[in-house]
């Protein structure tokens, strides 16, 4: 197997008596979609938050591109190339789709401490942003304020922002949630191609999408990895069926 881009070892995090993450090992190699599944409250979002840097793990290491990133803050991890989309979309609602992406482009280009040049006349911001919006199929909606975009369009926009950041790995937290069948289909097709760009750690409840997309699956229950491997192995795993898939299917 290729050298992992993201490598998590023995990660643990407790909230009081509750072990939200319990000795988790997980990695992400180039070109793959690695799905993270588990029942509600299994600790998937807690895990994603620790990888992205909004939560601090109690013990264990998170290695990204060979570097231990435990002590880096969210903006630093983002600059290293950890792109993230949120379970509940997290965008600047008054800004247009374009300006949301431009903010990412501006961050990649370096300093935000430039006080005079108007951004809306800055081709070096607009052109790359438009290019990314084109790729996710939002070019026609570029000038629409986020508050007026549909749910699915916001998801696409979040991914566009991660793309604009030149992310080396994507953490996607339930990108299909709240989407209609049509939107899920489009997004599935898009993610399928996105993995070529950078590997994806995908948290998702939509099992059709997970089985259609994932190269590997890790199952999390009560903060612990109960199974991890190829899609077919996970499908057959009796413990997984008992703990999780049994309820769902």
Partner 1 sequence: MTMNRETIVNISLALLLLAIPLIALQLNSPFYVTLATRMAILALAAVGLNLALGLGGMVSFGHAAYFGVGGYVAGILAHHAFSGLPLDFGLFQVPGTNMMPIIWVVAILVSGLLALFIGAISIRTSGVYFIMITLAFAQMTYYFANSWPAYGGEDGLSIFVRNQFPGVNTLRPLTYFFICYAILLAALVLFAAIRDSRFGAALQAARQNEVRVATVGINANRIRLAAFVISGMITGLAGALYADLNRFVSPSMLSWHMSGEFIVLIILGGVARLYGPVAGAMLFVMFEFLLGGMTDRWQFFLGLVLLGVVLLARGGLVGWLAGRARHG
Q: List b or e across 34-50, with b for residues whose CB sees 16 or more CB atoms inside 10 angstroms.
A: bbbbbeeebbbbbbbbb
| C-alpha–C-alpha distance, residues 53 and 117, integer Å | 32
Distance CA 167, CA 80 (A): 8
Question: Can you read off the two tokens belonging to residue 25?
Answer: 């090992």
* Contact between 74 and partner 1 per CB under 8 A: yes
Give the DSSP H or E segment for 37. strand 33-37
Residue 77 dihedral angles phi and psi, to the nearest 5°:
-65, -40
Q: Is 214 exposed, middle or buried (0-12, 13-18, 19+ CB in 10 A)?
A: buried
Q: Say whether residue 76 binds partner 1 (CB under 8 A).
A: yes
Tell the smallest beta-carbon distance from residue 101 to partner 1 (Å).
Answer: 9
Per rule CB under 8 A, is residue 111 in the interface with partner 1?
yes
108 forms part of the interface with partner 1 (CB under 8 A): yes
Is 165 a binding residue for partner 1 by CB under 8 A? The answer is yes
Planar angle of CA 53, 86, 192, nearest 5 degrees: 110
Q: Does 49 bind partner 1 (CB under 8 A)?
A: no
Binding residues for partner 1, how many (CB under 8 A)?
A: 41
Residue with tokens 């983002």: 78
Is residue 116 a contact residue for partner 1 (CB under 8 A)?
yes
Q: Which of 92, 208, 232, 239 binds partner 1 (CB under 8 A)?
A: 92
Q: How far is the CB of 93 from partner 1 (least distance, A)?
A: 6
Q: Find the shortest distance in angstroms from Cβ 241 to partner 1.
A: 36
Decide if residue 129 touches partner 1 (CB under 8 A).
no
For partner 1, give the closer residue by CB, 99 or 135.
99
Query: Residue numbers of the site for partner 1 (CB under 8 A)?
Result: 52, 54, 73-76, 78-79, 84, 86, 90-96, 99-100, 102-104, 106-108, 111-120, 122, 125, 143, 145, 161, 165
């Amino acid at each position: 197997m290729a050298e992992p881009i993201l490598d998590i070892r023995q990660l643990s995090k407790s909230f009081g008596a509750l072990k939200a993450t319990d000795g988790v090992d997980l990695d992400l190699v180039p070109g793959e979609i690695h799905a993270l599944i588990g029942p509600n409250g299994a600790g998937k979002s807690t895990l994603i938050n620790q990888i992205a840097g909004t939560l601090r793990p109690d013990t264990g290491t998170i290695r990204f591109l060979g570097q231990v990133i435990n002590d880096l803050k969210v903006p630093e991890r983002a600059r290293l190339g950890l792109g993230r989309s949120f379970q509940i979309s997290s965008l600047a609602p008054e800004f247009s789709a374009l300006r949301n992406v431009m903010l990412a482009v501006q961050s990649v280009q370096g300093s935000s401490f430039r006080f005079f040049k108007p951004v809306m006349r800055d081709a070096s911001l607009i052109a790359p942003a438009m290019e990314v919006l084109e790729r996710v199929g939002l070019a026609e909606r570029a000038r629409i304020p986020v508050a007026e975009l549909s749910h699915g369009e916001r998801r696409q926009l979040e991914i566009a922002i991660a793309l604009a950041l030149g992310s080396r790995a994507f953490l996607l937290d339930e990108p299909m949630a709240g989407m209609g069948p049509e939107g899920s289909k489009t997004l599935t097709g898009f993610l399928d191609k996105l993995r070529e760009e950078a590997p994806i750690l995908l948290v998702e409840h939509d099992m059709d999408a997970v089985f259609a997309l994932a190269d590997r699956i890790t199952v999390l229950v009560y903060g612990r990895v109960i199974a991890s491997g190829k899609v077919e192995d996970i499908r057959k795993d009796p413990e997984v069926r008992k703990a999780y898939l049994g309820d769902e299917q």
